[in-house]
Structure 1
Amino acid sequence: MTEPADTGAISLDDRLADASGSLSAAERRVAEVVVAYRELVAFGTVARIAERAGTSGATVVRFADRLGFSGFRGLQESVRADLSHRLLPAAARIRRPVSKDLVGSLGRSVAASLERTLRHLDPGEVDRAVRLLAGRRRRVFVMGGDAGSGVAHQVSVHLSMLREGVEELVGGAVEVGRTVARSGPDDVLVVIDLPRYDRAVLDVVAWARGRGVRTIAVTDSSLSPAAAGADVVLTVESHDVGPFDSYVSALAVGEVLVAGVAVRAGRSAVDRLDALESVWVDTDALSD
């Protein structure tokens, strides 16, 4: 895998993140279209995008200018470049030239992505997420898309070792629906979803929000479909490593949340871990 040249160019996602706090309501709707419907932006017209966002063509052009592009054409070219990278299948990625320094090349890429993710985490958002997850009367549900299911499982297992009432949402719509039907405003859902977004996850998020469940989204942008309407949004980078996207940053954010819950739960978490350790020792479950 070759390392991308450092041209100093600002990525589309970085432009969106930098501008998100200063966008008008109409411009924010355009931003949501850019994130959720990149194919439309890449190959559509100003009028089509304006229609999808429920605004005017002038607002679309103004949004492009606000992001620092030279009009809509500049925005469209950036989305096309981003889309071509995101949609490149593993079968194509695996055919790219590989650096002779494979460990060093991948290590630098993953380390840079992880460093940027942790540096840009909003401490206030992290604290809000930890407070929600540590609430003893809340049930906690954790769900990831197909590619993020491993991260979701790890977060779910570790949280369940610290507190009661943690459940990973897995299975088909019928099985997950039975669980969501029992949820309510006292509960919280952690969803881990990165491009390309998993429709099944987005459906569960919509169902849960409809029942008043508080939601924490771990995703690539505050404007992603998974983040829409979330109580807390924690953004991560997911650059490709070899043929596949890396979930290292998403796992790191999950570990931040787990560590925060351990601190906030205090003595109850200590007692719970002591009880687990005692059972494991008594049953000789682990080989040291």
Structure 2
Amino acid sequence: MTTANSTGHTTVRELIRQHYQALTQSERKFANALLENYPAAGLASITIVADNAGVSTPTVARMVQKLGFKGYPPFHKALLHELEAKGSGPTQRRANWAPEAPDTHLLNRFAQAVTHNVGQTFANIETATFDQAVNQLAEVDQRLYIIGGRITHALADYAFTHLQAVRPAVTHMTVSSGTWPHYVLDMQPGETLLIFDIRRYETNLQRLAELVAERGVRIVLITDQWTSPVAAVADFTFNCWVEIPSGWDSNLSTMMLLEAMIAAVQEQRWPETRERYEQLDELFDMTRLFRKFV
């Protein structure tokens, strides 16, 4: 049985999802309270977290054991470890990997890590949620906005390059937060914001999400396994596993999820998208942007 005690890759959030069906009604009440304010709701003593969730102390103890922990202290320790991981920088991340690095080539360790990340990412995506988010991204009657952060702006740029060819009315917001109020000013209820935010989470992205949520904009968040604070106001949240033996996180699983979304939006809008592709190719021919071999 895989638990947060036996692997640094399994979060308490993931364990709750895995065991949710086996929980009693009162245990689910505590689980839901924890997920609503994660991981802060589980960082106090067992008595306090039980009182805050409106359940008994034995209920918390039973749920913790069902998740695979021997007791509340290791459960509490696991949450503290996740909280520390959320704010870790490149030096701390490298230190976490170096002592436990297996005696194999770095390429092999990378292959193992990214394979694990991709598997965990896709295993924790509900198809219904994925389909609903794709429907929102494909809604051409409403504008789609795309934004990323210091690192994830590259993902946002990739998403824009493809989605603006797939559908009309796509806006790539600049990375300069000083310009964001101009975009927010024109946002209408029902429009969509696709936002990328991985650790260390950016406060300006969180504030942007809060502002657009107040205006009735639907938010699709792509984040890491620890979950950006933007999730508190997001309509759809997708967690991507990102840890690798490096001082940096990997965007491979994030990119694979993004490409799956792009492909799904394209298929949903076909043949309208095919017509856009054909018109785009005609424009490329007129500008002679690409070299033709025939």
Corresponding residue of 1:153: 157
- Which residues of structure 1 form unaligned runs of 5+? 1-5
The C-alpha deviation readout for 1:102-145, integer Å capped at 9, x for no partner, is 21210121122112212332211111111111112011111223
Note the C-alpha offset of 1:90. Answer: 1.4
Corresponding residue of 1:31: 35
1:227-266 alignment runs, 5 A limit: 227-266=231-270
Corresponding residue of 2:17: 17
Is the 2:149–2:175 contact (alpha carbons within 8 Å) kept by the matching residues of 1? no
Task: Give, as a single letter, the amino acid of the residue that structure 1 aligns with 2:266.
Answer: A
**Aligned mates of 1:166, 1:279 — CA distance in 2:** 19
Note the C-alpha offset of 1:69. Answer: 2.8
Tell me which of 188, 191, 198 is aligned to 2:195.
191
**RMSD, aligned CA:** 3.1
Fraction of identical pairs, as percent: 20
Tell me which of 114, 119, 125 is aligned to 2:118.
114
Corresponding residue of 2:213: 209
Compare 116-125 and 217-226 and name the one that shifted more. 217-226
* Structure-2 change in CA distance of 1:31 and 1:244 (3 Å): same
* Structure-2 change in CA distance of 1:160 and 1:33 (3 Å): same
1:51-90 alignment runs, 5 A limit: 58=57, 64-65=64-65, 67-90=67-90
How many residue pairs get aligned? The number is 278
| Secondary structure, aligned partner of 1:167 | strand
Compare 137-146 and 64-73 and name the one that shifted more. 64-73
* Structure-2 change in CA distance of 1:206 and 1:93 (3 Å): closer
**Aligned mates of 1:215, 1:263 — CA distance in 2:** 21
**Aligned mates of 2:49, 2:282 — CA distance in 1:** 59
Note the C-alpha offset of 1:240. Answer: 2.9
* Structure-2 change in CA distance of 1:283 and 1:249 (3 Å): same
**Aligned mates of 2:291, 2:16 — CA distance in 1:** 49
**Aligned mates of 1:8, 1:239 — CA distance in 2:** 12
* Structure-2 change in CA distance of 1:144 and 1:47 (3 Å): farther
Note the C-alpha offset of 1:235. Answer: 2.3
Note the C-alpha offset of 1:270. Answer: 0.9
* Structure-2 change in CA distance of 1:191 and 1:281 (3 Å): same
**Aligned mates of 2:190, 2:7 — CA distance in 1:** 46
Pair 1:171 & 2:142 matched: no
**Aligned mates of 1:48, 1:262 — CA distance in 2:** 49
Is the 2:29–2:55 contact (alpha carbons within 8 Å) kept by the matching residues of 1? no
- Which residues of structure 2 form unaligned runs of 5+? none
TM-score by length of 1: 0.81
Is the 1:32–1:223 contact (alpha carbons within 8 Å) kept by the matching residues of 2? no
Is the 1:186–1:213 contact (alpha carbons within 8 Å) kept by the matching residues of 2? yes
* Structure-2 change in CA distance of 1:57 and 1:173 (3 Å): farther
Task: Give, as a single letter, the amino acid of the residue that structure 2 aligns with 1:134.
Answer: A
| Secondary structure, aligned partner of 2:186 | coil
Is the 1:222–1:233 contact (alpha carbons within 8 Å) kept by the matching residues of 2? no
Note the C-alpha offset of 1:166. Answer: 0.8
| Secondary structure, aligned partner of 2:234 | coil
Note the C-alpha offset of 1:146. Answer: 2.1
TM-score by length of 2: 0.80
The C-alpha deviation readout for 1:171-205, integer Å capped at 9, x for no partner, is 34431122112112230111222233222111111
| Secondary structure, aligned partner of 1:170 | coil
**Aligned mates of 2:32, 2:275 — CA distance in 1:** 46
